[in-house]
Amino acid sequence: MHNHTPDNYSCPFCMFVKGAETEFNKHEDVIFDNGRVRAFISPKWWPNNPGNVLVIPHEHIENIYDIRDDILGEINQVAKRVATVMKENYGCDGISLRQQNEPAGNQDVWHFHLHIFPRWEGDELYLNHHKWRYVGAEERQPYAEKFKGKIII
């Protein structure tokens, strides 16, 4: 009822979890993985919020309506640890979590994912919603290094 995955959809997050790499997702981007939940530096950045992180379940689950409580809880535990490390290592003023569902909610990958954004005073994250860009692996790498070995659950 609440699913919008197109027929013959090839889920990029499922492929990444299974070991495939693309220009958008590299193994070096991964900052946490316990076999059920993965956190990684997002390839999609907003102008004033570089180094945001995505947390996803390994299992293909499209949205908040379908996710089991235990997986959602684990994703949020990981998000809390990521937010803490991000705050300490980026020196940001705050953190925002964002999770979209369905086309009207701006969901664009049909696999549940939680964004963790570093925030700075006056960064206008929500006013810049349409000004994102993809960044290459070399630009993501220094951010991933800030997390290595620090996300402990």
Instruction: Calculate the CA dihedral of residues 76, 146, 16, 99 and round it to 10 degrees.
Output: 30
Structure tokens at 148: 């290595």
* 122 vs 153, residue with greater confidence: 122
Average pLDDT, the chain: 95
CA within 13 Å, CB half, 124? 6
* 152 vs 118, residue with greater confidence: 118
Confidence of residue 130 (pLDDT cuts 50, 70, 90): confident
What single string gives the DSSP state of each residue in 73-115?
Answer: HHHHHHHHHHHHHHHHHH--SEEEEE---TGGGT--SSS--EE
Return the pLDDT at 1.
61
Q: What is the pLDDT of residues 25-76, one digit of tens each?
A: 999 999 999 999 999 999 999 999 999 999 999 999 999 999 999 999 999 9
Return the pLDDT at 129.
81
Residue 153 has pLDDT above 90, yes or no: no
Region 73-80: mean pLDDT is: 98
Return the pLDDT at 2.
81
> Which domains are delineated in the chain?
13-145 (3.30.428.10)
